[in-house]
Amino acid sequence: MPEQSQIEVAEPDDSKHRAIRSFVIRASRMSPSQKQAYRELWPHWGLELDDGMLDCREVFGRDAPLVFEIGFGMGESLATMAQNEPDKNFVGVEVHPPGVANLLKRIDEREITNLRIYNTDVIEVLKQAIPLQLIERVQIYFPDPWPKKRHHKRRLIQSDFLELLKPRMRSEAILHVATDWQDYAEQTLELLNETKDLTNSVESGFVPRPEYRPVTKFEKRGIGLGHDIYDLVFIHGS
């Protein structure tokens, strides 16, 4: 179940810390079939913080490039990507248990073997379980937009978060963000541009949706609202 772990953001006087999360724990009503999937399948495909540092060779039985997806929602697009790229190991992180249960069902139905799941705050996963210089591609698709100005501090993609993430990415690893919220896209572009050790994969700005990224559930919702879609692909360490 999701933990109450939190992103730490410095108070203005820098002497205390205020904990701000990028998500709210919603009342997680799982359908009976989701509950059953969770009970039966989690022991096979779930990863726990208590297991300590992720050992890919032990978990996947092989070394392969690791794709790390943050906030996979219902997991449909992540399941498709894992199927489409069998030569890679995939780890997904999501706090919302019904989404986790849904992805567990997809893994089982489609006999996907190269995907594992954490059901907790990605901040804790990064701190406690992801070794340095491991990740080959980070995917953050349609992160919660927190559209109200006073909520912007809850947005996941902030400099503290990037400082936690970057050392866990390999040299030349990809950071791929997509959003349908123009101001979040622009804010993220500005932040990534000014972040040391990250370089835009194109001369400037956004990229067209790469072939490997399926259209996601929240993307469809955004398109329905008339939003444009913004993909950012940055390279680590170049």
Ligand X SMILES: C[S@@+](CC[C@H](N)C(=O)[O-])C[C@H]1O[C@@H](n2cnc3c(N)ncnc32)[C@H](O)[C@@H]1O
List residues binding ligand X (CB under 6 A). 22-23, 70-73, 93-96, 99, 121-123, 141-144, 156, 216-219
Shortest Å, Cβ 74 to ligand X: 7
Determine which one of 51, 144, 197, 231 is catalytic. Answer: 144
Whole-angstrom Cα Rg for the chain = 17
Shortest Å, Cβ 198 to ligand X: 20
Q: Is the distance from CB of 30 to CB of 100 less than 8 angstroms?
A: no
Amino acid letter, 192: L
Shortest Å, Cβ 214 to ligand X: 10
d(CA 75, CA 64): 21
Which of residues 88 and 237 has its CB atom nearest to ligand X in the complex?
Answer: 88
Which of residues 60 and 218 has its CB atom nearest to ligand X in the complex?
Answer: 218
Q: Would you put residue 145 in left (φ > 0), alpha (ψ -120 to 50) or beta? A: alpha
Which of residues 50 and 203 has its CB atom nearest to ligand X in the complex?
Answer: 50
Which of residues 80 and 89 has its CB atom nearest to ligand X in the complex?
Answer: 80
Residue owning tokens 């992540």: 78
Mark whether 63 is an active-site residue: no
Shortest Å, Cβ 41 to ligand X: 19
The two tokens of residue 55 are 């050992």
The two tokens of residue 199 are 């370089």
Q: Which residue is nearest to ligand X (CB)?
A: 71
Amino acid letter, 110: R
C-alpha closest to that of 72 among 25, 142, 136, 156:
142
Q: Is the distance from CB of 54 to CB of 91 less than 8 angstroms?
A: yes
Active site residues: 144
